[in-house]
Amino acid sequence: MLDRLEFTAGTENIGERIDKTLSELLTEMSRSALQKLVSEGCVLVNGKSVSKNYKMKNGDIVIVDIPEPEELKAEPQDIPIDIVYEDDSLLVVNKPQGMVVHPAAGNPDGTLVNALMYHCKGRLSSINGVIRPGIVHRIDKFTSGLLMVAKTDKAHNFLAEQIKNHSFTREYNAICVGRFKDLTGTVNEPIGRSKFDRKKMCVTYQNCKEAVTHYEVLEEFGQYSLVRFRLETGRTHQIRVHSAFIGHPVLGDDVYGKAYKGLDGQCLHAKKLGFVHPESGEYMEFDSELPEYFVKVLEKLRKG
């Protein structure tokens, strides 16, 4: 069954490309996905198909038929994973840089979820559906480090509540560009999706959520700094957005900063994870060593 969107263009849309107008209404879809809908004839303007370059006119009647997304199904795969802790309720894993957490368009398999399904023989919480079983929180593909996974729905709900209440410990180490004026501080700026690039997040005061990041500079070398970040909230790309916002993007982050030769993605590692166990009620905390890719960059920068 198709979802249908109908609207009439106003004066604010005059001269705008139709894919731009649609991106402001269908914020969950990328510009390329919307262009595809236009080229496939799923978008009618005044009853006729148009090209993706069509410029809007005042009073245009637009109908968009949105097909249901293709359903992805995660399958178990025998992929090695670094398990730091495991019991009947949950696991803590150390995700390598470059591994995607769960299947999505462009990454249908080879993900952490595929590996977890094989290891846990399907015994993972079902709250986040068949594509994200067990996933309580995520880290980016090119971010390494500790990630907690729920085996039961009870554990999932209990842990998710801690994240919601900001009682969940999440500390990251990152190499940032530049030297900080203040060696400790807090960035308290709301984050939302960028109006100009739907794949990016940004500091914004419209359609946003509270985002709070605490930082401490651990070491400085040349024009780079080793920084500890502690998340109070957990928004998408939060550390990367906040560090770029204050003028110190994470090294190697080609989305919010720029790429770094020899580094595949940003130099950001989820180092510490702490939470109250859903069954025992005890606080548990895990710390991971900096991975090889991170250490190599540190050594290089220390040598100047």
Residue 132 token pair: 């994200």
For residues 79 and 71, give the distance between their C-alpha atoms in angstroms, rounded to a whole number.
23
Catalytic residue among 140, 197, 254, 264: 140
How buried is 15 (Cβ within 10 angstroms: 0-12 exposed, 13-18 middle, 19+ buried)? exposed
Rg over alpha carbons for the chain, rounded to the nearest Å, is 22
For residues 42 and 184, give the distance between their C-alpha atoms in angstroms, rounded to a whole number.
52
Burial 214-235, CB ≥16 within 10 A → b, else e = ebebeeeeeebbbbbbbbebbb
CA-based end-to-end distance of the chain:
60
> Is 140 one of the catalytic residues?
yes
CB 291 within 8 A of CB 267: no
Element (H or E) spanning 158, and its range? Answer: helix 153-164
The contacts of residue 243 (CB under 8 Å, 6+ apart) are 174, 176, 187, 213, 215, 227, 229, 249, 250, 256
- Residues recognised as catalytic: 140
